[in-house]
Amino acid sequence: MPRRAALLVAAALGCTAPADDAAVVVEQVREAFRHAWTGYVEHAWGHDELTPLTGGSRDWYDASLLMTPLDAFDTMLLMGLDDEAAAAKRLIFDSLSFDRDVPAQVFEITIRHLGALITAYQMDGDQRFLALAIDLADRLLPAFETPTGMPYRYVNLRTGAISDSINNPAEIGTLILELGSLSNLTGNPVYYDKAKRGMRAVFDRRSPIGLVGETIDVVTGDWDRTASHISGRIDSWYEYLYKAWRLFGDPDFRRMWEESITAVNRYLPDARQDGYWYGHVDMNTGERIATQFGALDAFMPALLALSGDVDQAVRLMESCYRMWTAFGIEPEVLDYTTMDAVYPGYVLRPEAIESAYYLYHFTGDPRYREMGRTMIDSVLTLTRTEFGFAALASVVTREQRDRMQSFFLAETLKYAYLLFAPPETLDFDAVTFNTEAHPIRAFGPDARQ
Ligand code: DMJ
C-alpha cells in the first residue's frame, strides 16, 4: 500500500502512531476536519453551526451568517481540501448577506467573519470576499459612536441600533487587526482610526499600576469590574496590542504593549512550588483576588514567545500542559492551588494547542510536538461523535454537549495541523494570526498609519 494511503487508513482507524511521525498526525487532523465538515454539509448546510450530538443545526441570531463555512475556509485552503473549499465558497457567495435585522456581537463577528473574509481575500484573491468585508465593516461602524470612542458590544447589522454599553477590554481591543487590515486594503483610514481610538480609550483608563479591569462602561468611561487577569474579557486585549505593532508597525501600539506587559508581568505571575501561573489581581492595588487559570489563558505562552519572551513562555506552557494532563483534557477554569476544576467544561478551545505550535516554531524542541500529540489525541478521541465533534460538559465525567463552535475548524484543527505540517505549509514570519487563527499577510513598508 502506498505510504499516503496507509496513513489515511491509519488515520481513519484512529491508530496511534509514534510521536515523531508527523505525517500521521497531519492525516489524522485532516480526517477529523473532513468528518466535522461532512457533518456540517449533511446536517447543517447553510446554518451557522452543526449540532454534533443530534445532527442538527444552530444559528447565533434569527438569520444564519454562515459562521462555520466562512470561519473554516482558510483552514481548508491550508489543508489542501480544494473540493471542500470550493463548496464553501459557492455557499458563501450564493447566500451570505449581512443585510440582516439582527443585533450582532461586534467582537465575535469581527474576529470570525471579518477576519475570515480578509484572509480569504488574501489567500484566494476573489474580490467578492473584499466586498463582503467592506459591507460588514461599514455596518459595524455605528457601534463606535460613543462619547469615549469605545464601541458598544452589539450593533444591529441592518438598522445600526446599538446595545449593551458594558463592554470589556478584549471585545473593545480585539478589532484592530481586522479593521486596520481593511484600511490597508481599501485605502480608507476610517476603520483603523475607529478601532485604534477605542483601544486608546481603554489604555488611557489603565490604573495607576498599569492594569486594566474586566468590564467598562463605554458611555461614562468608568470601570465596572476591577478584576485584572489574562482570562476571558481581557485576554486578547494584550494579544492585539502586540500584534497591532507587529502587523502595522505603528509605534503607539509598541508603547502601549510594552507598558502593559511590564505591569502584567509584575503583578499577575504566581510562582508556586508546583507551577508557574498567571492569576487574578485587583487592577488598582495588585492584590491577589483569585488563583484561577483556564483554557482561555493558555493563549499566553504563544503571545510571550511571539513577543520575544521565550523563557517565560516555556515556564507557562508547562503549567498549561499540567492543567491539561491533570484531567486528560483541559477544563475551562482551574484553581491552581487545589488543581480542582472550577468550571469543568471543555468547549473545543484551541489556545493550548496554539501555544504548543508557537513554542515549537520558536524553539524547535520536540517536547512541544509531544505535548501537541497528547492534546490532539484526547480532543479527537473524547469529543468525536457520529456527526462531528462535541464540547464536553465536564472533563471529569466526559459527558458531551451538543455544541461545535466554528473555532474548532478555524483554530483548533488548524493549529493542530500546522504544528505537525511541514513549515512551508505557511510562512509564519509573513503573517500575523488574528485571535480566530486567520493568518493575515503583512502589508509591507507602507502599512504604518
Ligand atoms: C475564539 O473565538 C478566539 O480564540 C477568542 O479569542 C477566544 N475564544 C475563542 C476560542 O477559545
Query: Is there an atom of ligand 1 within 6 Å of 435 CB?
Result: yes
DSSP per residue over 266-287, as a string? Answer: HHSEEEETTEEEE-EEETTT--
Atom from ligand 1 closest to the CA of residue 351: 11
Q: Which of 49, 74, 178, 235 is catalytic?
A: 235
Where does 134-259 show beta strands of DSSP type E?
Answer: 154-156, 162-163, 166-167, 215-217, 223-225, 227-228
For the stretch 318-373, pLDDT in tens is: 999 999 999 999 999 999 999 999 999 999 999 999 999 999 999 999 999 999 99
- Contact of 346 with 392, CB cutoff 8 Å: yes
Grid-cell match 484531567, residue found: 327
259 catalytic, yes or no? no
Cα of 52 vs centre of ligand 1, distance in Å, is 19
**Residue 31 in grid coordinates:** 480526517
Atom of ligand 1 nearest to the CA of 232: 7
Please name the residue whose Cα sits nearest to atom 3 of ligand 1. 436
Buried b (16+ CB within 10 A) or exposed e, 350-379: bbbbbbbbbbbbbeeeeebbebbbbbbbbb
Q: Residue ranges of the alpha helices (H) in 364-410?
A: 366-382, 407
- Residue 415 Cα to ligand 1 middle (Å): 13
Q: What confidence tier does 311 reach under pLDDT thresholds 50, 70, 90?
A: very high
349 Cβ below 6 A of ligand 1 = yes
Entry field: residues in the chain: 449
**CA pair distance 302, 157, nearest whole angstrom:** 33
436 in ligand 1 pocket by Cβ < 6 Å?
yes
* H/E stretch holding 318: helix 310-327
- The residue whose CB lies within 8 Å of the most ligand 1 atoms, and thus the one to mutate among 296, 392, 403, is 296
Q: What's the average model confidence in pLDDT over 299-307?
A: 99
Split at pLDDT 50, 70, 90, the class of 65 is very high
Q: Give residue 34 CA to ligand 1 midpoint distance, Å.
A: 22
Catalytic member of 332, 354, 402, 436: 332
Q: Report CA(407)–ligand 1 centroid distance (Å).
A: 7
* pLDDT per position as a tens digit, 220-258: 999 999 999 999 999 999 999 999 999 999 999 999 999
Report pLDDT for 6. Answer: 40
Is 239 touching ligand 1 by the criterion CB < 6 Å? no
pLDDT surpassing 60 at residue 19: no
pLDDT tens sequence across 152-181: 999 999 999 999 999 999 999 999 999 999
Q: Which atom of ligand 1 is nearest to the CA of 108?
A: 2
Our measurement of the distance from residue 90's CA atom to the centroid of its chain's CA atoms, rounded to an integer in Å, reads: 25
Whether the pLDDT of residue 5 is over 80: the answer is: no
Q: Which atom of ligand 1 is nearest to the CA of 347?
A: 11
Could you tell me the distance, in angstroms and rounded to a whole number, from the CA of residue 435 to the centre of ligand 1?
6
For residue 4, report the distance from its CA to the centre of ligand 1, in Å.
33
Which among 27, 84, 108, 330 is annotated as catalytic? 108
C-alpha 405 – ligand 1 centre gap (Å): 10
295 CA: nearest ligand 1 atom: 11
Four-point Cα dihedral 362, 367, 370, 374, nearest 10: -100
- Alpha-carbon span 270 to 282, nearest angstrom: 14
Q: Helix 82-95 crosses helix 22-43 at what angle (to 10 degrees)?
A: 30
| Residue 50 burial class via C-beta count within 10 angstroms: exposed 0-12, middle 13-18, buried 19 and up | buried
Q: Is 31 among the residues known to form the active site?
A: no
Determine the average pLDDT of the residues in 293-304. 99
Catalytic site includes residue 235: yes
Is 80 exceeded by the pLDDT of residue 94?
yes
Catalytic residue among 49, 250, 351, 436, which? 351
Q: Could you tell me the pTM of the whole model?
A: 0.95
Q: Which atom of ligand 1 is nearest to the CA of 174?
A: 6
Q: Is position 332 annotated as part of the catalytic site?
A: yes
